[in-house]
Amino acid sequence: MAATAAAAVLSSGRFYALIGFEIHVKLATHSKMFSSSSSAPAQTTNSQVTPFDMALPGSLPYFNRTCLEAGIRAALGLNCQLNKISHFERKHYFYPDSPAGYQITQQRYPFASNGVFHYPLLIKKDKLKSSTKYKFVDNQNSFVIKQCRIERIQLEHDTGRSIHDDHQNRTLIDLNRFGTGLIEIVTKPDIQSSLEGESFLRELNRLLIKYNICEQSGLETAVRVDANVSLHRMNTKPDGNRIEIKNLGSFIDVRQAIDFEIKRQEQLLTNNYSIKNETRTYDTNKYQTIHLRRKEDQIDYRFMIEPNLPPLYLYDDNDKHIYGKNFVNIDDIKRNIPISPLDERKQYLDKYKDFLTAEHLHELLRLDMIDYFRDVMTHLDNNHLRHIALEVLLSDVKSISYDGRKIRKFAQAVSPILFADIIKHLEKRIITRFSLYTLLTLCNKSRDSTRSLKSFLDEHNMYAINDENELEKICLKILEENPKQIDRYKTNPKKALEQLHTSVCKKYHGRIHDDLVNDVFKRLLDKRIK
Amino acid sequence: MLSNKTTSSAVRSAINALQHYKVLNTLTNDCFDKALETEQQLSIEKKNNSPLYGRPILIKDNFCLRDTLTTCASKMLANFRAPYTSTIVQRLIDHGCIIVGKTNMDEFAMGVASWGAFGPVANPWSLTKTTMTNVENNKTVLHVAGGSSGGSAAAVAANFVSIALGSDTGGSIRNPAARCGCYGFKPSYGLLSRLGMVALVNSFDSPGFFARNIDDLIFATNAVAGPDDEDATLLSKPFENFKTSNELSKEKKKIIIGLPDDYDVNTLSSEYRLCWQDLVHRLTETGEYTFKRVQLPYTPYSNAAYTILSSCEIASNMARYDGIKYGHHTKNIDKNKDTYEDILKKTRDESLGERVRGRILAGNYYLLEENYDKYFVQSQRVRRGVMNDYKKVFEEDKIDCLLAPVVSNDPITLAEYEQADDIFSEDDIFTVGANLAGLPALSFPVRLSSKGFPIGLQLIGPFLKDQELLSTAYRICSTYQFPFLDLTKQI
């Protein structure tokens, strides 16, 4: 497995890895960056195309203000310096999905640079101890927080979409996507493993969604990642060479591609080959990176200042001459920006300190359950209920959602209100703790997310048996069916009760309260003995 | 041939003239039928107050007009019908102008002879030279009309229409105006919207007009100038109409005109230099003008800077012509062998002319990473030097405007032009400065040369002082009478 191989390479102490990312984020704006057509995804082919989007002769770009505002929010969230003057440039290359023969981007003069982003390392604490040289903070209330410096953020637009039709040997072009606003975030190579890489990207994703920079949509991936990876012998200086891996579409792909590369480069270094600049692509079927082009074949993009767009000027409160005018003010945006995910988690730790620890929060993060947790908490009004909810989230829900992988689907099917209702019922002992797994699974499978809890309980008869008389009748029946246990009780009461408990639970799936039934059995058996 | 129903149809007269003088090749394609329809409609509808209402005009074929062929005189766009109308053209239509046709030009506006894929425009003054006939075929010898807006200039100079739209990137309005004998006005960069005008060099391109009197230049510019929320390079200030000669105060202040020594180059013929000097003398005598010799030291470098900067932007702007979305697409496809790149190469090779391909090649060279600083950035520094030269002259030396030549000698014949090898004209030195600095400039005819061709001069003014420039031009041109050509009289 690539993961263990890569981990072995890194923990051997003979090598270290430098990893950086170039992340393309699709901005959540209504219209495109330089034209007025809609940027909504999944529309009829070529229905959202203005003259500029198809590079008609005589067409001109006009910059979309909301793209700038989204970009500034990203820069602030990543603690970047905002460059008050920046420029748009043309990046030239020929490709059918690029109608003008160039892309408008910011190469030499980006609008933001020199930032730093802190992110929690997502690993089970027991695994942390065994993996390489990470500083293990043995503190109940803290995460392992790492940092990655941000080199720059630039504004640019997306290309069209190429659809390869191998049957008819042709490529079809859809220009709906052409021109939609992007920011490209370029990090410094501060990431040192695939684990750090995934942790960084997950936290970044949280920030981008929270700050309304991109959308979390099932229709299109809002975030595309290129990774730069280079492995070096310990105690040698990096020579600047690195492998670029393009177009990684998911967190898993990023992890696997990095791990594969680390192992591959280790082989090269061990056999005394040096790492030369190269561009590779990731094959998701074979879990490998594949060569695309060498350094000598690298394209010269002939960057040139975009003459149809004036320099981009940013203003803040110090620029008095903009008062009263409708210019974008960085300080205004700063004042209105939401709290960062990092700070928000600190708030939770404080607010729920009666029962919530950093370890809990870490696990919720790892399972991608933070938002669901937050929403559930708001529907429960005391810490006792909240504590129960947390426990259920970290056990039953974790399992039902396949360790968090299907948490989004779960959150849709089992709304936070419904979940809160279940917890309240549990606390009131209307249902038992053991019925939760089945109940939650049923709710998760249901297509109707508006169904009431009562309808589920009624349909599947999941109410706990709280009536003493009824319970006694049931227990008597069980005793009748299990005469061996009656005898056993005399010599090994504990084991007998266990077996009886097992039997009754088998019959009345999840409707039995442990303590109640135990008391009843004890009472009945003791009576018998007398 | 449509019969002439109303004798007073201006459009009909224009059509007749254009058809009669097909030899001048002023049009790439016509909108005759639609123009006649429009004229009918306008005469029925309520008239608006525009002085342009009902006027037949021509527009250079690099301006998009909806559902009309917009070819830029190139094979690449020979079949291109624009799905939208350029802002300037739409504003003219809204004022009641009637578009009679699209005028011929140099391919993609590159050149000074208006000789694109559809043949050259001929200078209308060639037709007055009854003594000049080709010995071989007894046809009149034809001369270049200047470029790249030659078709528009020739049509106005010959009085087929009174106003025509052109574009000036390195002199493409002023040059043909001087050669053909009419007024050509390039406003300050940032006044007129470029939306819908096929880009040549975005940083220098400026739409502008040809006319037979300065008031018409003003009417036309007033109709179209001002902000357009689709062009980010325009000034955002609302546009204040230029005043015509009637509206200006009659008070005549003294005008200080600069004579740039650096434009007095060796290639300027003695006849054309004399015309420049004579005008200076004449105007000095009126007592209303003072002339000062001024220095523009960056002038010798301006041509090089212009060449480099324009080639770079041209290479970039031409990258869109791949035949996939519109335009010419090669039919010579080997389905088994040809890659995307192969087809792209064939498409562009087949349809872009030699001059265009030369500029693209040069531009791509200058834009290489290793060359960008040496050429592109350095040229921008020179450009700033050129701008500062003008600024210093206007602000420190208190000059109102400059008077300078536009071309250095009589136009050569079309045959001579075909033999010639040069890509760039030495006359560019007179015109590119105003484009590099974004300044307003106006070319006006002064008198005829000994061979009977118009000699023109130009005024160059400070940035955004277009009103003053137009007023000064009017005053100067009122001191004499130029024998404007009118070929319609001979039909």
User: What average pLDDT does the segment A129-147 reach?
Assistant: 55
Smallest CA–CA distance from A49 into chain B, residue? B325
Mean pLDDT (chain A) is 89
Higher-confidence residue: A275 or B22? B22
The 10s digit of each residue's pLDDT in B8-34 is 799 999 999 999 999 999 999 999 999
Tell me the one-letter amino acid at B164: A
Mean pLDDT (chain B) is 94
User: What average pLDDT does the segment B311-320 reach?
Assistant: 98
Q: Between chains, do A304 and B83 touch, taking CB under 8 Å as contact?
A: no
The 10s digit of each residue's pLDDT in B328-355 is 999 999 988 999 999 999 999 999 999 9
Q: Between chains, do B319 and A310 touch, taking CB under 8 Å as contact?
A: no
The 10s digit of each residue's pLDDT in B32-50 is 999 999 999 998 987 788 9
Q: Chain B closest CA to A41's CA: distance in Å?
A: 22
Distance CA A390, CA A355 (A): 9
Q: Between chains, do B197 and A58 touch, taking CB under 8 Å as contact?
A: yes
Predicted confidence band at B1 (pLDDT cuts at 50, 70, 90)? very low
Distance CA A405, CA A397 (A): 11
From chain B, the residues in CB contact with A61 under 8 A are: 232
Position A131 pLDDT exceeds 50: no
What's this model's pTM, rounded to 2 decimal places? Answer: 0.89
The per-residue pLDDT for A218 is 58
Q: What phi-psi label fits residue A55: left (phi over 0), alpha (psi between -120 and 50 degrees) or beta? A: left
Distance CA B24, CA B30 (A): 14
Predicted confidence band at B5 (pLDDT cuts at 50, 70, 90)? very low
Q: Between chains, do B368 and A304 touch, taking CB under 8 Å as contact?
A: no
Q: Between chains, do A90 and B316 touch, taking CB under 8 Å as contact?
A: yes
Q: Between chains, do A303 and B233 touch, taking CB under 8 Å as contact?
A: no
Distance CA B259, CA B458 (A): 11
From chain A, the residues in CB contact with B66 under 8 A are: none
Dihedral, A215, A218, A221, A222 alpha carbons, nearest 10:
0
Name B165's bridge partners: B59, B209
Residues in chain B: 491
The per-residue pLDDT for A136 is 36
The per-residue pLDDT for B424 is 67
Domains of chain B: 7-257+403-478 (3.90.1300.10)
From chain B, the residues in CB contact with A309 under 8 A are: 232-233
Closest partner CB to B203 (pick from A100, A102, A307): A307
Q: Between chains, do B326 and A56 touch, taking CB under 8 Å as contact?
A: yes
DSSP classification of residue A337? P
From chain B, the residues in CB contact with A55 under 8 A are: 320, 325
User: What average pLDDT does the segment A450-465 reach?
Assistant: 87
A300-304, A444-448, B164-168, B484-488: which range is least confident on average? A444-448
Q: In chain A, what are the domain boundaries?
A: 15-305, 341-460, 468-529
User: What average pLDDT does the segment A290-313 reach?
Assistant: 88
The 10s digit of each residue's pLDDT in B208-238 is 999 999 999 999 999 999 999 999 999 999 9
Position A55 pLDDT exceeds 70: yes
DSSP classification of residue A34? S
The CATH class given to the A468-529 domain equals mainly alpha
Q: Chain A closest CA to B199's CA: distance in Å?
A: 6
* Strand-pair category, B163-168 with B56-60: parallel
Position A407 pLDDT exceeds 80: yes
3 state SS of A413: helix
Cβ proximity of A380 and A420 under 8 Å:
yes
Token pair 């009131």 in the structure block, residue? A428
Q: Chain B closest CA to A284's CA: distance in Å?
A: 26
The first and second tokens of residue B486, run together, are 């009118």
A299-303, A501-505, B293-297: which range is least confident on average? A501-505
CA-based torsion, A194, A197, A203, A209: positive or negative: negative
Q: How many contacts, defined by CB atoms under 8 Å, are there between A and B?
A: 108
User: What average pLDDT does the segment A162-185 reach?
Assistant: 92
Cα distances from A454 to residues A252, A416, A446, A451, A461, in angstroms, run 39, 16, 14, 8, 10
Distance CA B340, CA A81 (A): 42
Position A295 pLDDT exceeds 80: no
Distance CA A99, CA A92 (A): 11
From chain B, the residues in CB contact with A56 under 8 A are: 64, 82-84, 325-326
B375 Cβ under 8 Å from any chain A Cβ: no
Predicted confidence band at B133 (pLDDT cuts at 50, 70, 90)? low
User: What average pLDDT does the segment B51-72 reach?
Assistant: 96
Closest partner CB to B86 (pick from A58, A94, A100): A58
Cβ proximity of B70 and B198 under 8 Å:
yes
Portion of chain B with pLDDT greater than 70, in percent: 96
Position A228 pLDDT exceeds 60: yes
Q: Chain B closest CA to A300's CA: distance in Å?
A: 7
Distance CA B209, CA B60 (A): 10
Smallest CA–CA distance from A96 into chain B, residue? B324
The per-residue pLDDT for A142 is 61
Distance CA B89, CA B72 (A): 16
The 10s digit of each residue's pLDDT in B248-307 is 777 778 999 999 999 999 999 999 999 999 999 999 999 999 999 999 999 999 999 999
Smallest CA–CA distance from A35 into chain B, residue? B230
Dihedral, A199, A205, A210, A212 alpha carbons, nearest 10:
160
From chain B, the residues in CB contact with A63 under 8 A are: 232
Cβ proximity of A238 and A232 under 8 Å:
yes
The per-residue pLDDT for A138 is 43
Token pair 């061990």 in the structure block, residue? A270
B94 Cβ under 8 Å from any chain A Cβ: no
Predicted confidence band at B491 (pLDDT cuts at 50, 70, 90)? confident
From chain A, the residues in CB contact with B229 under 8 A are: 62
B202 Cβ under 8 Å from any chain A Cβ: yes
B285 Cβ under 8 Å from any chain A Cβ: no
Cis peptide before B148 (omega within 30 of 0): yes
User: What average pLDDT does the segment A26-50 reach?
Assistant: 94
The 10s digit of each residue's pLDDT in B434-463 is 999 999 999 999 999 999 999 999 999 999
The per-residue pLDDT for B36 is 96
Closest partner CB to B320 (pick from A101, A171, A302): A101
Q: Chain A closest CA to B222's CA: distance in Å?
A: 22
The per-residue pLDDT for A125 is 53
The per-residue pLDDT for A514 is 87
From chain B, the residues in CB contact with A298 under 8 A are: none
A252-266, B2-16, B139-153: which range is least confident on average? B2-16
* Structure ipTM: 0.94
The per-residue pLDDT for A494 is 87
The 10s digit of each residue's pLDDT in B77-113 is 999 999 999 999 999 999 999 999 999 999 999 999 9
Q: Between chains, do B367 and A303 touch, taking CB under 8 Å as contact?
A: yes
Q: Between chains, do B83 and A56 touch, taking CB under 8 Å as contact?
A: yes
Instruction: State the DSSP string of B209-251.
Output: EEESSHHHHHHHHHHH-S--TT-TTS--SPPPPPP-TTTS-S-
Catalytic residues of B: 60, 148, 172
Q: Between chains, do B369 and A54 touch, taking CB under 8 Å as contact?
A: no
Q: Between chains, do B376 and A304 touch, taking CB under 8 Å as contact?
A: yes
Closest partner CB to A60 (pick from B80, B232, B341): B232
Q: Between chains, do A101 and B324 touch, taking CB under 8 Å as contact?
A: no
Buried-exposed string B102-129: b where 16+ CB fall within 10 A, e elsewhere: bbbbbbbbbbbbbbbbbebbbbbbbbbb
From chain B, the residues in CB contact with A171 under 8 A are: 340
Position A141 pLDDT exceeds 80: no
